[in-house]
Structure 1
Amino acid sequence: MNWLHVTNGDGASDLIKHSTVPGDVLPWRDVMHHGPFPADKSLEALAEIRGGYLAGEILDRREVIVGFTLRDAHFQGAGRYDELVLWFEHDLLDQLQLVQILDLISKLGLRDETTVSLICIGEYPGIEPFRGLGQLTLEQAAGLMDQRRTVSESQIALARSAWAAFCGDDPLALQNFLLKADFSPLPYLKPCLERQLQEFPWISDGLTRSERQFLQLVADGTEDPARLFMRNMDFETHLFMGDWQSFVILERLCMAEFPLLTCQPTPFRYPPKDEIELEDFRAQRLLLSDHGRAVLAGQKRAGIKRDDWMGGVHLSGPEAAWQWDPDGQRLIRAGI
């Protein structure tokens, strides 16, 4: 048998490679919960868009785009394998990758060329809390091959609908999809997409859920940026945010027109954006500003000027066009 295994990133990819599982491994490197994903773009166009966004001002743009291009070419040739095995977890990052890949499998007609199977877990006996595949031993990872199941038509259909809603420029399409779809074919998908909606600014104060969590942790006495990242995970039932994006958010809270955090020493610096030793990075202390304290107390709005993408939705300015209503558990258009 000739196998191709596709999984989230390098951690899970290395686990599979070093286990007794035979075959080639393709990591799907993309932090899809932030940055642009406009609808109806080819893989070539998405490589340019995602590569340019993720490279930012830190990485070599062309090198990142080439990485996407090579990944996509490998995946498009999956029909030459006897079986394509998808390895994913229950968190937001993995579920977004999974629906994109299932959508691509349908568009490329790969199920007509090879067997496509899925391993997707949200727990493992004896591991508590279960965060992801990277916690498994090599033997445990290899044992998951017995749990794989052939991808069904209902899983493909649900993934295609989810992907279309995520990439659309009207977030109400995603909200309506969550209300009406049958999620039994992909049971981890619904809570992940619901969490994604909570990253829209909230009508109560203009903060996203993650921004508020970081501010609350600082208010409670956590000042070390590395510890802030670790403790923020305790708020999440479905992890999705890595250290890099967490530090980007902390920088935004420090550098906003009306800063919500202050850093001692200033400015806040973090890898890989800045060359900074780990000891110096952890020695930084993040504190609430007067404005941040007032926002947490419900006395002021955050006023963060945004230039953010949530799938196919672009949020701009200090008051985003779409905001999350936590009481109604729904998105609303600002000013309505």
Structure 2
Amino acid sequence: MSASRTTKSDKAKSSRPNRIFFDGRLNLEQQRKRAKDLLRALRAGNRTAQQRFVDANHPIGAAGFADIRLANAQLVIARENGFASWPKLKNHIDRITEQNRQISSGNQPVLDTKRTLHLRCGSDIRNGLGIAGFVGDFLEFADPFCQGPVPDLPLDEFISVRADFIASGYHITPKDALARSKREYAALNRLDQYDHVVLWFEHDGYDQLILAFLMDFIATARPATRIELISVGAIPGVERFIGLGQLSPELLIWCWENHRVPVTDAMLETGRTAWKAIRSAMPDALEKFIQTGTSALPHLIPALERHIAELPDPQSGLGLTQKLVLQIARDHGPLPVGKIYAHLMRSYDPLPYLADLMFWSEIQTMMHCKSPLFTLSDNPDQHWPTRILTITATGSDTLAGNQNFLDNFTTTRWVGGTEITPETVGVFYSERLSE
């Protein structure tokens, strides 16, 4: 079920370019230098430095900026990194540094047992957990529900539909895709063979849709084991948190110590309701669920908001990813497809969730149209990330809303259980606009 670069042995999550993102290991000396530089800039009357104090809600007081000291600048640095105070920042760094020392010396404490199962929607943290000292088993369940059909069908039919999509969307042989799907789904029936199951997830649509499915599955199966959830939306000092796979082993320990909570009945029921709405043929139920809100799974609502942004915009007919691809091509192009993906992940997508081959699948879907939105350099020896994408006049007009992509589109795409085709989209719009 992977969108990996190579084979099905790699998961969609593991193919993300996490090395370009900060791994979370803050350096105390570097933070001290940042505080000194900030203080120096403030004393020089730098307005950006002054605004940073305001943005950090620093209690400047009646004296204003006239009597600012190093401790004041350190408070701003701490708050910019997500801490309430400089001592809290220092304590965090000291803790991470000590864990790094323990890992490097091979003396790290064991945090779980061999009767623990770590369940993750990809393989991106498997090695990191081992380095950090975790000894439990690891299970990947990585069906990317954020792409392809997610219909409301009995499980055996559902697995078959998903395997068909994975085979076609990620260029995997149908036999291999179906075998892998059946194996992953069947493994979920063995959760009660463990004393302790820990679900490792982050805040994006890829993770949260899978988490909703798992909550529904667990609510039905009720495995006789202790189940806990780690769901992470932010990491101290990490400005652009993409996913758990970008984190150092020490930060995985930090997640274990600070974000692990028991799975409750409220979580299960929330996931079950969300999963039913995700599979609905029309998005009304999902929109209603989002409007209702939930605190049981705090990262679910933002992820679902990003998910339904993939529905076609009434004016342009584009989903958000499609729109962002064209925006990047307009702003920076012509560009290699791999660089468009990097722009998407680094800055354009408000909540990035696509692995690289999932992104390439989106590009290929956009190519199914009468008049192309973009051209690709055509060299059979070129790997897809190096192919040059150039926006066309049709692409520019569609991005501007002067043309509707769905009048140009010639195939089918899905957003959860909602099928989007040139034939059905009229019904889709009329029902939405009549509300």
TM-score tier, shorter chain, comes to 0.7 to 0.9
Q: Is the 8 A contact 2:215 2:272 kept in 1?
A: yes
Matched with 1:208 is 319
Matched with 2:310 is 199
Please tell me whether residue 66 in structure 1 is matched to residue 165 in structure 2. Answer: no
Matched with 1:173 is 285
Deviation digits for residues 72-116 of structure 1 (CA, Å, limit 9, x no counterpart):
222211112101110000111000111111111111012xx1101
Q: Is the 8 A contact 1:117 1:149 kept in 2?
A: yes
Matched with 2:138 is 25
Question: 1:247 Cα shift?
Answer: 1.8
Q: Which runs of 5+ in 2 are unaligned?
A: 1-112
Question: 1:255 Cα shift?
Answer: 4.3
Within 5 Å, give how 1:1-336 maps onto structure 2: 1=113, 2-42=115-155, 44-56=156-168, 58-110=171-223, 113-147=224-258, 148-181=260-293, 183-222=294-333, 223-233=335-345, 234-265=347-378, 276-278=381-383, 281-302=384-405, 303-317=408-422, 320-321=425-426, 333=432
Q: What letter matches 1:35 in structure 2? A: G
Q: Is the 8 A contact 1:200 1:322 kept in 2?
A: no
Q: Is the 8 A contact 2:336 2:388 kept in 1?
A: yes
190-199 vs 123-132, which deviates more? 123-132
Give the TM-score, by structure 1 length. Answer: 0.87
Counterparts in 2 of 1:116 and 1:312: CA distance versus 1, 3 Å: same
Question: 1:322 Cα shift?
Answer: 6.4
Paired with 1:51 and 1:141, the residues of 2 have a C-alpha distance of 31
Question: 1:335 Cα shift?
Answer: 8.4
Paired with 1:255 and 1:161, the residues of 2 have a C-alpha distance of 34
RMSD: 2.2
Paired with 2:121 and 2:127, the residues of 1 have a C-alpha distance of 11
Counterparts in 2 of 1:142 and 1:301: CA distance versus 1, 3 Å: same
Paired with 2:427 and 2:309, the residues of 1 have a C-alpha distance of 11
SS in 1 for 2:332: coil
Question: 1:307 Cα shift?
Answer: 0.8
SS in 2 for 1:56: helix
Paired with 1:216 and 1:316, the residues of 2 have a C-alpha distance of 23
Counterparts in 2 of 1:298 and 1:83: CA distance versus 1, 3 Å: same
| Identity among equivalent pairs (%) | 26
Paired with 1:322 and 1:128, the residues of 2 have a C-alpha distance of 42
Structure with the larger helix share: 2
Paired with 1:154 and 1:277, the residues of 2 have a C-alpha distance of 50
Deviation digits for residues 275-303 of structure 1 (CA, Å, limit 9, x no counterpart):
x454xx45432212221122223322222
Q: Is the 8 A contact 1:87 1:120 kept in 2?
A: yes
SS in 2 for 1:186: coil
Q: Which runs of 5+ in 1 are unaligned?
A: 270-275, 325-330
Q: Is the 8 A contact 2:270 2:296 kept in 1?
A: yes
Q: Is the 8 A contact 1:305 1:318 kept in 2?
A: no
Q: Is the 8 A contact 1:321 1:333 kept in 2?
A: no
Structure with the larger strand share: 1
SS in 2 for 1:201: coil
Counterparts in 2 of 1:310 and 1:322: CA distance versus 1, 3 Å: farther
